[in-house]
A = this chain, B = another copy of it.
Amino acid sequence: MREGLILVAHGSRDPEWSRPFERLAAALEKKLPAAAVALAYLEYGPSLEEAAAALLAKGAGSIRVVPVFLGAGGHVKGDLPRLVAAARLSVPVSIDPPIGEQGRVIDAIAGEIAAPR
């Protein structure tokens, strides 16, 4: 069964705002060709429930939720688990730590900032 991957971001009414998340989804589709990838937004975009339904329709047998947030506050600690629970999905679901809590992500960002320009 395919793994379903939902990248969840905050969302904004500004359409340019979501560009990095769209790039991230495209990069992950290349890196994980066997997975089904979808974007979801807390505001102004497909909801977690809509993204999950799209992945189930594509044959996902499990869903991994990746919070694409640097800082973990109420959205990551409160809203997201609540939305996952409310979706009552029929397949196993896991929630990753937010990307900002992953040391290698922070190191990679530091490396880019420090790189000679």
Contact = CB atoms under 8 A, between A and B. Distances in A.
A66 interface: yes
By DSSP majority rule, is chain A's interface helix, strand, loop, or mixed?
helix
A24 B104 contact: no
B14 A101 contact: no
A13 B18 CA distance: 24
Interface residues of A, number: 45
A71 B21 contact: yes
A103 interface: yes
A34 to B, nearest CB: 11
Interface of A: 5, 7, 9-10, 12-14, 16-21, 23-24, 27-28, 31-32, 66, 68, 70-74, 77, 96, 99-115
